[in-house]
Amino acid sequence: MVDSPFTFTLSMSEIIPSRVDNHIERRLSDLQGQFNDQAAFDKMLSTEDQLLYEVYEVKRPEIEGEMLLGVSIVHPGKVGNEFFMTKGHFHSVLETSEIYYCIRGEGYMVMETPEGETSVALLTPGKILYVPPRWAHRSVCTSRLEDLVTFFIYPANAGHDYGTIEQIGFRKLVVDGVNGPEIIDNPRYK
Ligand code: F6R
Ligand code: ZN
């Protein structure tokens, strides 16, 4: 079967795309064990299970040749001195890449390979980031009031390996330092 081409719009002022097949919400409790300051995490969670980020997906068959695309929105905030972030993952098919286009806010993409290389890319509106195959990736919002909004596209057969990051964490963290956001070594990296 041959699909018909389709268009949709992503307004710079609205940020929610005109076509959405799936809306994912991830809350504080979904990131249990991922933030450095567990006491701050527990305290926050005892008050409210805050919404940290959302993903608006355009669904396609998850097979080779197709692409998945959508918008990721990380809300501003911190757990202790660590900025709100996504869970982060490797792709299950490690040899698959991803492209991000930052459309609003400011933040970082924290990345690393299984071999231990690390890279942290600044995201500002208009910036395009190419995440090559093998690099785990996590978005971090460092804007104080604005969401970090990115458009992403990646091969539909990539799949997500969340387990590795849940167990070992990322090697680098983004924290709020005396002079603003700072990239530091993760003291709890396993
Ligand atoms: C897909 C991808 C993004 C993220 C989104 C949420 O491969 O990298 O669409 O899924 O930014 O982050 P996670 O999936 O880590 O919760
Ligand atoms: Zn990904």
At position 9, the amino acid (one-letter code) is T
Q: Which atom of ligand 1 is nearest to the CA of 154?
A: 7
Ligand 2 center–CA 46 separation, angstroms: 30
Residue closest via CA to ligand 1's atom 6 equals 86
Q: Which atom of ligand 1 is nearest to the CA of 74?
A: 11
Give the residue extent of every domain in the chain: 22-185
Pick the CATH number of 22-185 from 3.40.50.12280, 2.60.120.10, 2.60.40.1260, 3.90.1580.10: 2.60.120.10
Instruction: Say which ligand is closest to the CA of 62.
Output: 1
Q: From CA 154, how far away is CA 152, in angstroms rounded?
A: 7
Ligand 2 center–CA 47 separation, angstroms: 31
Handedness of CA 152, 137, 105, 51 (dihedral sign): positive
- The finding on whether 143 has its CB within 6 A of some atom of ligand 1 is no
Cβ-contact 69, 99 below 8 angstroms: no
What's the pLDDT score for residue 144? 96
Of residues 4 and 142, which shows the higher confidence score?
142
pLDDT tens per residue across span 63-94? 999 999 999 999 999 999 999 999 999 999 99
Q: Which atom of ligand 1 is nearest to the CA of 26?
A: 16
What's the pLDDT score for residue 125? 94
- The finding on whether 89 has its CB within 6 A of some atom of ligand 1 is yes
What's the pLDDT score for residue 1? 61
Give how far Cα 158 sits from Cα of 13, 46, 155, 162, Å. Answer: 30, 36, 6, 12
Is pTM beyond 0.75? Reply is yes
Q: What percent of the chain has pLDDT over 90?
A: 92
The predicted model gives 117-140 an average pLDDT of: 97
Q: From CA 123, how far away is CA 107, in angstroms rounded?
A: 5
